[in-house]
Amino acid sequence: MLLSTTPLQDGFYFPAEFQPVAEVWLAWPERQDNWRDNALPAQQTFAHVANAICKVTKVCVAVSAKQRDHARRLLQPQIHLVDIPYNDAWMRDIGPTVLVNEAGERRGINWQFNAWGGEYNGLYDNWQQDDLVAKSVCDVVGIDHYNAPLVLEGGSIHTDGEGTLYTTKECLLSPGRNPQLNQQQIEATLKHYLNIEKIIWLPKGLFADETDGHVDNLMHVIAPAKVVLSWTDDRDDPQYALSRQAEKVLSTQVDAQGREIKVIRLPLPGPLYYSESEANGIEQSVAMTREAGARLSASYANFLMVNNHLFLPLLDEATDAQAIKVLQQALPDYQVVGIATREVLLGGGNIHCITQQIPA
């Protein structure tokens, strides 16, 4: 059911990813202008991710009728397949942001979606089905929802569940999102719909991120007042300055509860680039440029936390073990599950981008 109030009025808030999760949603990839070789390699990788997560919690996968049989063969039998139309498989951005209240009830937020920038710099022209996914997921889960008057993707926001929201100016203030609103107006809307008290605005996201710098590719909130931040010590890397700008903001502000924020540096993989065969396997489109030698927006921060498990993209043999070590030390109570996900990276994101958790 569509609600006419706001979460702030009703006492619902945005919980952290490290709070208990009831289920995780994905959508099955099939766009041939984003996933190479008829999306078959990406489908194998999405299946690896979903099959790993289903050992920890319930998993639902949105799938088209023509892909249903193929998906069923690759996915574990306990994974639920749901027939929901969509344009591409980024469930973090097209799915609902689900809120909770103190009584444990849940409600969803249906943000407006315009393919990461609409006519200004969107990645595809037709996003009408994507824009309906959040409502559809809420209907399947059996929860009421709010329609938020804001173009926003789930990957552009992180929370500690205790009143603090993290985002980037590069994304939320992009002319392709909400050009009619200034920063203060966007803040006010976020406070009404996420029931948060403080927003920490990082300047920019990860270098070469075609989502206009989603915060989930740059950093991850792993506990109250504790974040991991993508980091490089290579002065020649364009990310060098961007990570330091972000760290300066994080280390000079306090969170909504007045706590100093602990920043843990998480090494970047690579840099990594499209190979010729990878780029050539994708149908050319106007906005999604996939060229041999182009830099990939690769990050270990793009992981998913589910019930004391951390599902981590494995991207580079030279740095994978180091990333696991950093995260294991930061989260000793977590089991780190590494999954090779270069195929997801080739499409422009990673494990966090293709999943959306529904809190318990």
Q: Which residues are catalytic?
A: 353
Count CB neighbours of 55 within 10 A. 12
User: Do residues 170 and 204 touch, judged by C-beta distance below 8 A?
Assistant: yes
Place of tokens 């203030």: 173
Instruction: Tell how far CA 223 is from the center of its chain.
Output: 17
